[in-house]
Structure 1
Amino acid sequence: MLHELLLAFLGHTGDIFQIVPPSQSADKNGGIQQHPGTIQLAPDIPLAEEAEKYRLNQLAAIGYDYLQLELFVDREQDMVFSSLGSEGEQLAKHLSVYRRAFATGVEEVLRTYRAAVLRLEQEIVRTPGCTPMPLTKVQLILSDFFIILPQLHSLVRELLSRKLCGGALLQHLYDRATNGIPVLQSCIQRILWHCNQVWYKQLIAWMIHGVLPSQNNEFLIVRSSANSAASAASSAADADSTLEWHTGEPHPPKVPVTATRP
């Protein structure tokens, strides 16, 4: 049973542990009650004690959070690779470099989790005799991830439902990092570090080289709409000088910018 539980920790299900997809039902007040997805024991698995079944379901649920986080990371990576293809120009317009950085941070957490599951498996194999490892010890070894992964899954759902990107994503991560759980705080701060690398590079590009990131207007400085009309009416020479004002041209830029909070 422990080996099947280890597989469930990594989102691999079968005859013993099965995925229960999200569902909804009507509550007694006439409203809609949402039931999140999870991984649970198959209903036809005989167990001597109900408490053991409850504990196994409680432990295996983390595998569903891991699976959804892995799918999110894979989707973000697939979008990056697809943007390099024939239809890459259209797809690139919908890419968010901040979400890509966020996915990189999540993948770093998942790698740490996979390594912890591997160490747990090695310890189970090295356990002498036929006495199985207690479930309480399994929970203790992965205790940090029983806090981290459900919260990261919730964070990803918020990111997708609210379509957070740019400064809004950074601000949301700052807010979520302010909590009283040290292990969760350090995890979100690490993901925030990845997103801040994008922010710092965009800031350096603007302040030192005068280059505005053009992708999805995720930077806090954007070109004003008034400048777009002026640029369209300007001559080719003026347009070239406008685009290259940051290279050391003596005249001030002809492209006004508007500082906005994304």
Structure 2
Amino acid sequence: MLHELLLALLGYTGDLIIDEREHYNSLGLDNLLVDAPISGEPTFKLASDISFLEPSERDLIQRIIVLGFYYRELDRFATKSRNLSWIRSGNESSLANSTESSKDKIENPSVYRRAIANGIVEILSIYRSAVLHVEQKLLSEMVPILAIVTQGLDKFFVLFPPLHQLIREIERDDIRGGQLLNLLHKRCHCGVPELQTCIQRLLWHGHQVMYNQLASWMVYGLLQDKHGEFFIRRQDDRETNQGSSVQDMSEKLGRLSTDESLTDWHLGFHIYLGKQKCAKKTITMKEEFFEKLEEDASQEDETNKQNYLDSNQKTSDS
């Protein structure tokens, strides 16, 4: 029974501890597919025909095996998000069939989700080590008791439910890019130190992607964003036609700089803040930016002119 329990804690069900989705599956699948959606409610249950357990023991085991369900769902999310089958080099364009199959497996790949999945893998590795430690303690005891399992995995009862809710929201709403970082930042504000540390670690992984994209853009002028997740995008990727606004900005840039190549460079990219409803806000921010540049330039000219007049006045007085 204890070995069945330990296996269930790692996501493997059997005859004593079953998965209701597999049990009632008319197709008779033994394991869930990786691409199956994340379950909302725990589906790991004790078999109804077990009669040698007391009601209190059944309740305690039922509470413990929920961790196995959360572990399996988190592991499935990490496996799906870390799948690199969508990566293809330019010389492999002839492999059309493999490319189409990879698109079927991952419709919308995301480097930010992959980074978050790497953080989840770290957490799951700590959990597996805790399960192994529990097994060692159970084998060393003369009379194994369930309290050892509860004590050894106590902190994961606090961590796994919010993490499961997090990945379910990410998958349901197709959250990626900056929205994913905003979601993690929002979840960091909680009253549980262990959970806060865990979410901050996930946020750290997401920030690594953003910092690498920023460094590539600011230092080398390269836009490393194959999946449209970075907040700087090419002008050709705009969802709305803003021809007049682009022309106005071109005139403003022309007054600020005599370098035509610099003007073309700035007009080739834009700041993306969200969906179509944010397009006008993006243009407004750009216009305000150029107006501020013009205002600063005019103030600087007036200051230089005043300083020149003051210096001439002092020279004439002397």
CA deviation map 1:176-227 (0-9, x unaligned): 1110011111011111111110010001111111111231221111122489
CA RMSD of aligned residues (A): 2.6
Higher deviation after alignment, 67-76 or 158-167: 67-76
CA deviation map 1:238-261 (0-9, x unaligned): xxxxxxxxxxx9931524222222
Q: State the percentage of identical aligned residues.
A: 37
CA deviation map 1:12-37 (0-9, x unaligned): 11111001239xxxxxxxxxxx9713
Aligned residue number for residue 62 of structure 1: 67
Unmatched segments (≥5 aa) in structure 1: 23-33, 230-248
Mapped partners of 1:227, 1:77: distance in 2: 29
Aligned residue number for residue 316 of structure 2: none
1:117-156 aligned within 5 A = 117-127=131-141, 129=142, 131-133=143-145, 135-156=146-167
1:251 maps to 2:261 = yes
Give 1:206's match in structure 2, choosing from 217, 227, 231. 217
CA deviation map 1:49-100 (0-9, x unaligned): 212111111110110111111111222233x135347344984883110011
The CA deviation at 1:3 is 1.8
The CA deviation at 1:155 is 0.7
CA, structure 1 residues 132+77, in 2 after alignment: closer, same or farther (shift >3 Å)? same
1:105-124 aligned within 5 A = 105-124=119-138
The CA deviation at 1:138 is 1.5
Which structure is higher in helix share? 2
Mapped partners of 2:63, 2:42: distance in 1: 13
Aligned residue number for residue 83 of structure 1: 87
The CA deviation at 1:175 is 0.5
Unmatched segments (≥5 aa) in structure 2: 23-38, 242-258, 275-318
CA, structure 1 residues 93+212, in 2 after alignment: closer, same or farther (shift >3 Å)? farther
CA, structure 1 residues 35+208, in 2 after alignment: closer, same or farther (shift >3 Å)? closer
Aligned residue number for residue 41 of structure 1: 46
Aligned AA for 2:16? I
Matched-pair contact (CA < 8 Å) for 2:231–2:273:
yes
Residue aligned with 2:116, SS: helix
CA, structure 1 residues 35+164, in 2 after alignment: closer, same or farther (shift >3 Å)? closer
CA, structure 1 residues 226+95, in 2 after alignment: closer, same or farther (shift >3 Å)? closer
Matched-pair contact (CA < 8 Å) for 1:179–1:185:
yes
1:12-27 aligned within 5 A = 12-21=12-21
CA, structure 1 residues 227+49, in 2 after alignment: closer, same or farther (shift >3 Å)? closer
Mapped partners of 2:200, 2:270: distance in 1: 30
Matched-pair contact (CA < 8 Å) for 1:21–1:37:
no
Aligned residue number for residue 6 of structure 2: 6
Aligned residue number for residue 244 of structure 1: none
Matched-pair contact (CA < 8 Å) for 1:21–1:36:
no
Give 1:184's match in structure 2, choosing from 195, 205, 208. 195
Aligned residue number for residue 103 of structure 1: 117
Matched-pair contact (CA < 8 Å) for 2:213–2:225:
no
Aligned AA for 1:116? A
Mapped partners of 2:150, 2:273: distance in 1: 43
Matched-pair contact (CA < 8 Å) for 2:40–2:168:
no
CA, structure 1 residues 183+227, in 2 after alignment: closer, same or farther (shift >3 Å)? closer
Of structures 1 and 2, the one scoring higher in RCO (CA 8 A, sep 6+) is: 1
Which structure is higher in strand share? 1
Larger radius of gyration: 2
Mapped partners of 2:45, 2:238: distance in 1: 58
Mapped partners of 1:115, 1:194: distance in 2: 22
TM-score, normalization by structure 1: 0.79
Aligned residue number for residue 56 of structure 2: 51
Q: How many residues align?
A: 228
CA deviation map 1:83-119 (0-9, x unaligned): 3473449848831100110111111111111111011
